Structure formats: C-alpha cells, structure tokens
A and B are shown apart, each in its own frame.
Chain A
Amino acid sequence: MTRSFPGVLANDKISFTIAPGEIHALLGENGAGKSTLVKMIYGILKPDAGEIRWNGEVVDIPNPAYARSLGIAMVFQHFSLFDSLSVLENIVLGIDSRDTSNLRSQIAEISERYGLSLDPDRHVYTLSVGERQRIEIIRCLLQNPKLLVMDEPTSVLTPQEVEKLFQTLQRLAQEGLSILYISHKLNEIKTLCQRATILREGRVVDAVKIESETVSSLASKMMGKELVESASSTVSTTGDVRMRIDNLSLPAKDEFGIPLREISMEVRAGEILGIAGVAGNGQDELLEAISGELLSNRPEDISISGKHCGQMNPNQRRMLGLASIPEERLGHGSVPGMSLEENGLLTAFMRLGLLSQGFIKTEACKEFTRKVIQRFEVKATDVKSPAVSLSGGNLQKFIVGREITQSPELLVVSQPTWGVDAGATQIIREGLRDMARKGAAVVVISQDLDELVQISDRLGAICGGAVSQFYPTESLSIEEIGLLMAGAKLDLENQNVA
C-alpha cells in the first residue's frame, strides 16, 4: 500500500499479513508511518495504490463503517470518546447496529467475561484514562470483530493496567481474534506479539518472528542505528533546596479538571527529580501551579530558593530563577503562528532584559533566538520561521533550548520528549542532564517510565492530584513504580527517603 501527502511519502509500498489468532506488531518510531497505515486499514484514509485482502478477497474500504462491517475494529491512540456523553451513549455511537435494546446486557456480559468492569451510565469525563480505554475495547468487542487494531494502547496505562490489558488481549487471541498491535515500546512487543513488521520512514525495513529477536536487535532495526544512551547521571552532591512545595492543595478548575491534594515535595540543586504518572492525574495542574499560571491560596505553598512565591505571577517566579516547559508544545509552550524570534521573546523578555521602556529590543531578541537554534541544533530556515512550520522534535528542541539558554536555577518540564524522534530526544535529555550537572534543580514530569528511570535521580509519582514520596531511582523496581502510579504507598525496607 502506498499513500503520500503533499510533499512526503508517508507509506511506500508497505505489505504485511496477519493470521487469525495472531498478535502482530507494527513497530516503528514516531513518524514512521504507522498511523497512516492503520487509518487506511480502517477506511479513514484512502491508499493511493495497493490493495487490502480480507480472507483472500480484495476489498475496498471506503469508510470506517464498512471496515466495521467486515469485522475490523480499532482502538485509537487518542480515544475517540465524547466527554459529556455517558458510557452507554458512547458505545451506541461506535456501533452500527440500530438495535440497541439489549445493549446493556451485552455490555454487562462482555465486561464480565474479560474483566472490564464499567458503569454504563457514568459520564466519560468522570472516568480515568484506563476506564476510558475499556469503553473503546468494549465498543469494539460488541461488534464481534475478526481483527482488532490497537494504536499505542499502553502509553496511558500503569504497568499493572498494562498487564491486565495483555491478559485480555491474549485471551481474545486464543479465541481466534487477530490483533494488530502498534507500538514503539519494545518490551511490550517482546512479551505480547508473535510476529512484527518494522517500519522506518514509511517503508517496511524488516518482518521478523519475535522469538528469534532480542529487544536490542528490534531497537536497532527500528531506528536504523545503534543508539548510544549515556548512563544515568549519578548524584554527586546534592546542593541546597531550590524549591519546596508545602502542603499545596488547589481545587479543580472545573468538572474536567483534577484538584491538587496536599502536595509536599522538595528538589535540590544538582538533582533531577522524576514524577511518573498516568495522563490526566494532575500533571498539568501541578506544572501550572509551579509555573505561576495557577496561583495558590497561600504564598508559602511554594517557595523557590527560599522565597515564598505561591501568589507570584509567572514572570516574578522567572526572576527567582524558575523556568517551566508545559506538555503541549503548540499553543501553550509556543504560539503556533508566531516566528521563532517572537516565541523566544515569549518567556525570555524579563530574565534577559529584552525590553527597554516597553519597547522590544529586536536585535537582542534575534541574537538570543539564533543562539538557541544553534546550540540545540534546531532545524529551521531562520528566526522568522513560524513555530508551526517546525516538526515536533525541532520545536521541542527550540522550547527546551529557549528555557535552558536563560540559565535558570530551577527547571520544571512536562513530557520533555513526547512524540519526539530519537535524535531530538537525545539532545533534549542531554540538555537536562547538563543543567543538573551545572547545579540547577530539574523536575521532570513524564508518562514515559523508561525516560524517568534513565534520567532521574529520585523518582515519585502523581495520582489523582496527590504526589507520592520520592525514592532514589535505582532502589525502585518497575512494579513498585507502578504501585506509586496507582496511588499506593510503598513499604520499602530502606526508608531513607531524601
């Protein structure tokens, strides 16, 4: 199958087969063309060339409804759910049958059989991410599919939830369902799948049997090169406390938000503090409370370098040495339609003194932007390129670079390498480590456990707006991190909590 977008070939003559009862992996980095491929299988995109054979017969899939009628079901990476509707309404919308009279009993039956408990009358916005995924899966299973496509299903789950999901999937495969499992997480593929088709830059680079591969051989095939990851920086000496959060509680902004509950933590100069957690557990709120986008009720809730700043605005906090990087790159960390130069000005104008009596110092601004572009290898035509024209990885390098170049004493970053290619990931992580080495305190909020384990010195988790205690990273097992992410308390022997 081939599909091109204006100026780029997203899928170039891709072929693969999947057998009944098989769990088949589609493996590739961000931007390798996985999503385009599954969208064609599900009838959302049309292929330019090539064909799909379904049980031996050539089929043309014009729309998702037809795909479903064939028996192809799909669980999306970003769930296709409607927040303000109930679970039942969401399920009704996702199935084509008009007869919905005994839907409740069908849902109950499937929930029971695969251990996917769910209350059909609750509104989606009240559910956790794991529960939301269950809706999608039940919605698919109700149609008795022959092929289930799952697009990065575990990126939002705790390790325990992942394990439970895998049990469900294996059970389904035993019953004869084919599962196309899309991921870039090698461990998962190693445990779950039988065969893998590996994509790189829109082409199939290899099709392999999983049992004859190791995680690292899969990795090098996926990335096309051996990736040298430098080892985790060990804490040399921890310095002074740079930021202290003292019993911070904040009510939720609205029904869709998460309240922050009695958060206390501190981070010291020279260390990288990791905060794990499943999406939607208060990460955004925590970051905004630290950055000053949300004000807390008491000034002493948050102190930076000993100064109470709970009610300071973002720029007052920047002057205390804080830099922050939100998860959403376009529209939060940067203004999409504005040039890099203007986006440089966005957070740097106070700290770097880019203003004189309200007027912008254009030259100084340009120079700063050029410096960021150069130091962080941002691929951009010039300082006038709009942020939206950059690829995700390049824009992230620019944003991280913009903050680091202001040499803050405290950096708080959320999802630093989400959706970013391997090269940029390396540059960004190196930048963060370098900062810590130079004596800054770094807080990394991430959903990517591998990342956190790799770069953080101490690790904790956020769940339902509450933050766990922090433990030295090397003292934690993946299971223990999973428990923290689920909000449980650890009973560790070495309670030497920093």
Chain B
Amino acid sequence: MVFVSPLIALVLTLLAGVVLFSVMGVNPQAALYAFFIEPLTSKYGWGELGVKATPLILIGVALSIGFRSGVWNIGAEGQLTLGAICGGGIALLFYDTEAFFVLPLMVVCGILGGMLWAAIPAWLRTSFNANEILTSLMLTYVATLLLSLLVHGPWRDPDGFNFPESRIFSDSATLPIILSGTRLHMGWVFALAFVAAAWVMLARTIIGFQVKVVGEAPAAARYAGFSVNKMIWFSLLLGGGAAGLAGLVEVSGPIGQLLPTVSPGYGFTAIIVAFVGRLHPVGVLFAGLLMALSYLGGESAQISMNLPLAVTGVFQGLLLFFLLGCDVLIQYRVVTRTLISKRAH
C-alpha cells in the first residue's frame, strides 16, 4: 500500500519526461531509452549503478531516520564534504605509506568528520534553539569553501601542474573493488549493511521506537520519558556520520583523490531518496538505485543525445512533487476511512 504512490509518481514522472523531451524537440522514446535503459546494458553499467547508489543509500537511510524523528538535517552535502576532507586528509598524510591501517583510519576519520559537522547544528539547536534546517544548510556552503581552500592551497598536489587537485591516493588508501571489470567497491557492502541495521533498529528496538514517537508526537515522547534533545543529537550525528562515510567512500573509491567538488549533490538528492523510499530503509535501498539510475541516465543522455545534465535535476524534483501529491491522495482515502469508523462509534 505505502509503495503504491512512489510507483504512480514514477509513472507520472516518466509521462512528464515524454512531454518535456517533446517540448525540447527530442524524440522522447530515444531519450527515455538513453536515460533509463542504456546505462544498464552492460556489467560495467550495473557496477556504476551500485557506485552511484552507495552514497545515496548511506545518506538516505540516515536522513529517513532523522526525518522520522522530526529533525530536518538538510546539510548532508556539507557533512559529506567534511567526511571527504577528514578521510582524505588521512590518505594524504600517509601518501607514501603502504599499510593496512590507513583505510580503516580513513573510514573512522571520515565518519567523525561528518559527525563533527553535524554536531554544530545539533548544538545550536539544543542550546540556542536555532533552526537546524538553516544552520546545517549554511554549513554546507562553508564546507564546500573549506574543501576548495584546501585543494587550492596546502593540499594541492606538488607535481600537479597547479591544478586544484590533491595527490592521488595510494593503494592502501583506496577501497577494494568487489566486482572485477567494474568500479563497484567495498562501500556498497557498507551501504547494504547499514540498510539491514537500520531496518532492525527501527522495527525492533526501543531506539527505533523513540525515533518514531519523537517525530510523531513530541509531547507524548516527553510523557514517555524520551528526551527530544537527545533525539536531535542522535539524528544529526547519525546523519552526519553516514554522510561523512559517504564522502570518504567517494574520495577513496571512484574519485581516488580530493577535488574542489567531490559530489554532484548526493547530499541533496538523498533527501528525495529518503522520501521516495517512504522513510523506510528497504524503500530507501530501491529509491537510491532509482536515483542513481537518473544520474547515470543524465550522463548517458548527455553523451549519446547531447542533452543537458540539468535534466536529471528536473526529473528528481518532478518525482518528489508527484510523490507528495500521490501520497496525499492515497493517505486521504485512509483518513476518510478512519474518520468514518471513528464517527460510527
């Protein structure tokens, strides 16, 4: 039942896509093929799907837990960037060391970096009541500038002809590939494990129960003895940690070095992923794959049909709109039914 509206929304988005492509003077059939089918016609393509889906799922799962508890962490993009900076920093520190501990240390630092960045809005919200939507978002801009500062300055590759790029990470600072012939890396395993853990937590544990109660009825949560402030910290640290891990996974996986921009907006797209996935870990898994496909499709349509990359963003926005609309239509029926049974008493 809850997964009906994402499917309807998807169909509506595709229909809107047909209209959009026709208006742009592009053959809709060819464009949709290039967008949604072509990327998956090779093993490499499937690998890429996992690569792109990994950060989306990691962040999407964490955000959906946050959103359920009523904490609006919109700054995952910034936390991702900090994860990349802190994890990548370790890689650069040990650039000439081949040792087993480098990668685990990078993972830990990446997670801590993301958490640190998310701790700021958590602290500002719990101590000063400052709205976390605005503070976490502002910190995203700050994080992007910080990364740019580092790769333009102290962390620039000394042999890199003055390009704003860091050294390329050593082998022991790079995530192992898990499917040969593709770029699919260890991060995908992290993402799947995270989905499973989050699912169990939400369905079976008292922490998951707290998340739901705090989000749905803060007064009832206080009554039950659940601290709203603790939940704000929990949600933001979880979101920050997951985003930090996603950032680390990006730089030590497909990118392999620090660049001025390490993410094509995964932190924002993950918000859509969370909603399309119904704020449920398993739903997020599928939604993350779908959104990853939209990124791949954007690239493939750009190459094969010369379509602008921005189409991806339009598709993502449309999907969320249609979803919100469909949701209400379906929920509306549920509400009417409850009202009927309520009045009948």
Q: Is the CB of A326 closer than 8 A to any CB of chain B?
A: yes
Contacts of B209 in A (CB 8 A): 342, 345, 360
Query: Within residues 316 to 345 of chain B, which ones have a CB less than 8 A from any CB in chain A?
Result: 336, 338-345
Q: Is the CB of A292 closer than 8 A to any CB of chain B?
A: yes
Residue-by-residue, is A330-351 near B (CB-CB < 8 Å gives 1, otherwise 0)?
0111111110001001110110
> Which interface class (under 10, 10 to 19, 20 to 34, 35 or more) fits A?
35 or more
Residue-by-residue, is A265-289 near B (CB-CB < 8 Å gives 1, otherwise 0)?
0000000000000000000000010
Closest beta carbon of chain A to B204's beta carbon, Å: 5
Q: Is the CB of B24 closer than 8 A to any CB of chain A?
A: no
Q: Is the CB of B276 closer than 8 A to any CB of chain A?
A: no
CB-contact partner of A349 in B206, B223, B340, under 8 A:
B206
Residue-by-residue, is B219-252 near A (CB-CB < 8 Å gives 1, otherwise 0)?
1101111010000000000000000000000000
Interface centre among A346, A347, A391 (most CB of B within 10 A): A346
CB-contact partner of B223 in A7, A10, A333, under 8 A:
A333
Q: Is the CB of B65 closer than 8 A to any CB of chain A?
A: no
Closest beta carbon of chain A to B336's beta carbon, Å: 6
Contacts of B345 in A (CB 8 A): 379, 390-391, 393-394
Cβ B217 vs Cβ A335 within 8 A: yes
Q: How far is the CA of A394 from the CA of B225 in the complex (A)?
A: 24
Residue-by-residue, is B291-309 near A (CB-CB < 8 Å gives 1, otherwise 0)?
0000000000000000000
Cβ A331 vs Cβ B220 within 8 A: yes
Q: How far is the CA of A355 from the CA of B204 in the complex (A)?
A: 10
Q: Is the CB of A447 closer than 8 A to any CB of chain B?
A: no
Q: Is the CB of A231 closer than 8 A to any CB of chain B?
A: no
Q: Say yes or no: A7-B206 contact (C-beta < 8 A), given A293-B222, A314-B224, A315-B225.
A: no
Residue of A nearest to B336 (CB): A6
Query: Within residues 26 to 42 of chain A, which ones have a CB less than 8 A from any CB in chain B?
Result: none
Contacts of B212 in A (CB 8 A): 335, 338, 342
Cβ B220 vs Cβ A7 within 8 A: no
Contacts of B224 in A (CB 8 A): 314-315, 346-347
Contacts of B207 in A (CB 8 A): 358
Q: How far is the CA of A315 from the CA of B210 in the complex (A)?
A: 14
Q: How far is the CA of A258 from the CA of B211 in the complex (A)?
A: 30
Q: How far is the CA of A11 from the CA of B343 in the complex (A)?
A: 12
CB-contact partner of B339 in A5, A292, A328, A386, under 8 A:
A5
Q: How far is the CA of A5 from the CA of B336 in the complex (A)?
A: 10
Q: Is the CB of B98 closer than 8 A to any CB of chain A?
A: no
Closest beta carbon of chain B to A328's beta carbon, Å: 7
Q: Say yes or no: A358-B216 contact (C-beta < 8 A), given A315-B225, A333-B223, A391-B345.
A: no
Contacts of A7 in B (CB 8 A): 339-341, 343-344
Contacts of A337 in B (CB 8 A): 216
Q: Say yes or no: A389-B206 contact (C-beta < 8 A), given A346-B220, A347-B224.
A: no
Q: How far is the CA of A292 from the CA of B227 in the complex (A)?
A: 11
Cβ A391 vs Cβ B342 within 8 A: yes
Q: How far is the CA of A263 from the CA of B139 in the complex (A)?
A: 46
Residue of B nearest to A346 (CB): B224
Closest beta carbon of chain B to A377's beta carbon, Å: 13
Residue-by-residue, is A302-333 near B (CB-CB < 8 Å gives 1, otherwise 0)?
00000000000111001000001010100111
Closest beta carbon of chain B to A393's beta carbon, Å: 8
Q: How far is the CA of A177 from the CA of B216 in the complex (A)?
A: 47
Q: Is the CB of B162 closer than 8 A to any CB of chain A?
A: no
Q: Is the CB of A388 closer than 8 A to any CB of chain B?
A: yes
Closest beta carbon of chain A to B134's beta carbon, Å: 21
Q: Is the CB of B180 closer than 8 A to any CB of chain A?
A: no
Residue of B nearest to A316 (CB): B225
Contacts of B341 in A (CB 8 A): 7, 389
CB-contact partner of A332 in B223, B342, B343, under 8 A:
B223
Q: Is the CB of B213 closer than 8 A to any CB of chain A?
A: yes
Q: Is the CB of A228 closer than 8 A to any CB of chain B?
A: no
Q: Say yes or no: A335-B213 contact (C-beta < 8 A), given A328-B219, A358-B205.
A: yes
Q: Is the CB of A49 closer than 8 A to any CB of chain B?
A: no
Cβ A6 vs Cβ B343 within 8 A: yes
Q: How far is the CA of A88 from the CA of B227 in the complex (A)?
A: 40
Q: How far is the CA of A318 from the CA of B227 in the complex (A)?
A: 16
The 9 A-B pairs of least Cβ separation, nearest first, read A7-B340, A314-B225, A391-B345, A8-B343, A315-B225, A332-B219, A335-B217, A331-B217, A293-B222
26 contacts between A and B (CB under 8 A): A5-B339, A5-B343, A6-B336, A7-B340, A7-B341, A8-B340, A10-B343, A293-B222, A293-B223, A313-B225, A314-B222, A318-B225, A326-B219, A331-B220, A332-B223, A333-B223, A334-B217, A342-B209, A345-B209, A346-B213, A349-B206, A350-B225, A358-B206, A360-B205, A388-B342, A394-B345
A residues neighboring B (CB under 8 Å)? 5-8, 10, 288, 291-293, 313-315, 318, 324, 326, 328, 331-338, 342, 345-347, 349-350, 355, 358-360, 379, 386, 388-391, 393-394
Given contact pairs A332-B217, A349-B206, A359-B206, enumerate 10 new A-B contacts (beta carbons under 8 Å). A6-B339, A8-B340, A8-B343, A313-B227, A314-B224, A333-B223, A342-B212, A346-B220, A346-B224, A347-B224
B residues neighboring A (CB under 8 Å)? 204-207, 209, 212-213, 216-217, 219-220, 222-225, 227, 336, 338-345
